[in-house]
Amino acid sequence: MQIRLSVFRKGTDLQQMASDLNNDLVMIDKWSQHWKLSLNILKCGTMLFTVKPVPAVLPRLYIANNPVRQTTVHKHLGLLLTVRLDWTTHIDNILLRINKLIGLLKLHSRVVNRQALDSAQYRAALAVTGAMCGSSSESILSDLGWSCIRDIFKQRN
C-alpha cells in the first residue's frame, strides 16, 4: 500500500518554517512507526515556492534523522510544480508526450480511420484556441494555419 502525503507551511521566516516542518515530520515519523508503516525517504523531497530569489542555502529538513533532498520540480496531482509556480515545465512535459503520440499517429496514419483523425485534430484545435464545441472546424483550422487532415491525405495521393 502506498500513501502520498504533502506537508505545507506558509510564512516569511525560513528558519521558523523549517523548524515547524521538522516538528511535523517528527510527528509523521512517529505516527508511521506506531502504525508499522515505513516512509520511503528516497521519494521524499522538499521545495520552496517563491517569486523572490531563492537563498543559496536553505534550512535542512529531516525524516528519522535522514536529510530530505531538495528539489526544484515536483509532480503533485498530475501537475508539475516548480519553485516559481510557472507553467513552463508542465507544458513542456505535455508537449513531449503529445509529440510521441503524434509520432504514433503518423506511423499508423494509413490504417487509422480518417474520421477519427479529423475528430482528434478538431478536439486539439478547440483546446488550443479555446473555441466552443460546435465551432466550425474549417474556421478554427484556418485561424491556426493548420491544414485539414483530409486535405493532407488528398495531397499525398
Q: Which of 16-28 are b and which e, b meaning 16 or more Cβ less than 10 Å from the residue's Cβ?
A: ebbeebbeebeeb
Q: What digits encode the pLDDT tens for the residues 24-33?
A: 999 999 999 9
pLDDT in tens, 78-97: 999 999 999 999 999 998 99
Long-range contacts of 34-40 (CB under 8 A, 24+ apart): 37/3, 39/63, 39/64
Rounded to 5°, angle at Cα 105 from 92 and 94: 15
pLDDT the model gives residue 113? 80
Which amino acid type is present at position 61? L
| Listed residue (36, 49, 57, 37) closest to 10, CA to CA | 49
Tell me what the mean pLDDT of segment 45-73 comes to: 91
The model's pTM is 0.67
d(CA 20, CA 31): 17
**Torsion of the alpha carbons at 137, 138, 144 and 150, rounded to the nearest 10:** 90
Task: Please give the Cα distance from 37 to 63 (Å, whole number).
Answer: 14
Degrees (nearest 5) of the Cα angle 141, 129, 124? Answer: 65
